Amino acid sequence: MPTAEKTEATVDHGAITIDDHGTFNHRLHSRVRSYDVDRQGIVHNAVYLYWLEAARIEYFRDIGVPIDRQSFVTKHRFVVAKTEIEYKSAAQFDDAYTVFTRVSFVKNSSFGFEHVIRHENGSILATARGVLVHLNPATNLSERIPDSYRSLIRDFEGAKVEFAD
């Protein structure tokens, strides 16, 4: 997909292997916006966290979780418990990039995301791992991830995901 034609974020899926990082089935493509860069002319480190969040939301949508304005308030209550990010290279205004996303494990009430953010020239901008916890919307206490979500993840990711209760 030629990046010069992209003006908004787009999503696609299908297995792509990235050297030293493994295979990813989900991709979010976008460009660095003017508000993403800091006074140094590079993407501010905190912006990468927004990119990861956008990729996770689109991942959910892509695997079949219905998304609307109330999705993460009253229906699918997932909160970020941990994020680790390793910055490799700086991106600048108007650079095209792709966030590759996969779920690597599903436990009782938590699951792990892995991401690689890659510049259109193939260089790795950042790698990240995150843990999200499923909460009961009424009590805000952690609760078991429903089987319906487990099935959607299993169907999308295949045998690469470690499932444990």
Average of per-residue pLDDT values in the chain: 91
The structural domains of the chain, with segments of one domain joined by +, span 3-163
Distance of CA 90 to the CA centre of its chain: 19
CA-based nearest residue to 113, from 97, 95, 133, 94 = 133
What is residue 2's predicted lDDT score, i.e. its pLDDT?
47
Q: 147-157 and 47-63 are packed helices; what angle lies between their axes, rounded to 10 degrees?
A: 100
CA-based nearest residue to 79, from 56, 47, 46 = 56
pTM above threshold 0.95: no
Is the CATH number 3.10.129.10 carried by domain 3-163? yes
Residue 4 has pLDDT above 60, yes or no: no
Residue 94 has pLDDT above 80, yes or no: yes
